[in-house]
Amino acid sequence: MSCSFDLGHYRVLLEAARTGGYRPAFFDRDPAEGDLLLRHDVDLSLDGALRVAELEAELEWPATYFLMTESVFYNLASPEGAAAIGRLRELGHRVGLHAVHPRLELDARFDPVLAWHNPNPDYMSAPVEDAANAMEPRFFSPETYRSDSNQHWRHGCPHEQLERGELPWLQLLTHPEIWAYHGATMRETMLAMLDAERDRRLGQLAEDRIDLS
């Protein structure tokens, strides 16, 4: 089994977790034995997030999507952003804030949970008022945390350990863009995402009555 970064292997991961006896959990209480907290930091693409979200819904694995309000890549305040939040909710997912330190404005669109974007170690794990921080000590230990940063598992793809039920619980952080778009490296995946983005933008131009003839 090759541990590729695509939706096919994301499905394998979730099915492995089910085989291993894990169940979906969120950042609304301390993790317990058997919990799998699916966390997605949405840095670049709402479309990518929705592709992963649809697959999770099909497999009945709700996740927590951390969305940015000040991304340079997408506009959560646009109709497209509002529709993305609506669809995530409709699919049964939770929505947290992917916040840029020190700004923390958890309005009504969000559940009371945040994850800092590109955090510095000095505030990364610090508890915050009136919300859960996905990296505070109760949700994070090196043994119960895996992340796919830049299309690379620092401690290996967890699908086999999940399948064997070897992890007491797990916070699994994935970036949907890496899984929704295809490439053998982060560079290739990002180029695939940009190709899709170009098509999407052309559609938006047409909708905005820009003459593309």
Residues engaged in binding Zn ion (CB under 5 A):
3, 41, 43, 117, 157, 159
Cα(13)–Cα(153) distance, integer angstroms: 13
- Beta bridge partners of residue 52, listed in sequence order: none
Shortest distance, CB of residue 205 to Zn ion, whole angstroms?
Answer: 28
Shorter beta-carbon distance to Zn ion: residue 11 or 117: 117
- Per DSSP, helices labelled H in the chain are 7-19, 46-58, 79-90, 121-124, 159-163, 176-180, 186-207
Shorter beta-carbon distance to Zn ion: residue 150 or 204: 150
Phi-psi region of 37 (alpha: psi -120 to 50; beta: other; left: phi over 0): beta
Shortest distance, CB of residue 116 to Zn ion, whole angstroms?
Answer: 8
Shorter beta-carbon distance to Zn ion: residue 113 or 157: 157
DSSP string for residues in 8-46: HHHHHHHHHHHHTT-EEE-TTS---TTEEEEEEEESS-H
Cα(170)–Cα(47) distance, integer angstroms: 26
Shortest distance, CB of residue 204 to Zn ion, whole angstroms?
Answer: 24
Shortest distance, CB of residue 100 to Zn ion, whole angstroms?
Answer: 9
Cβ atoms of residues 130 and 143 within 8 Å: no
Shorter beta-carbon distance to Zn ion: residue 92 or 101: 101
Amino acid at 129: E
Q: Is 153 in a helix, a strand, or coil? A: coil
Shorter beta-carbon distance to Zn ion: residue 90 or 160: 160
Shortest distance, CB of residue 13 to Zn ion, whole angstroms?
Answer: 6
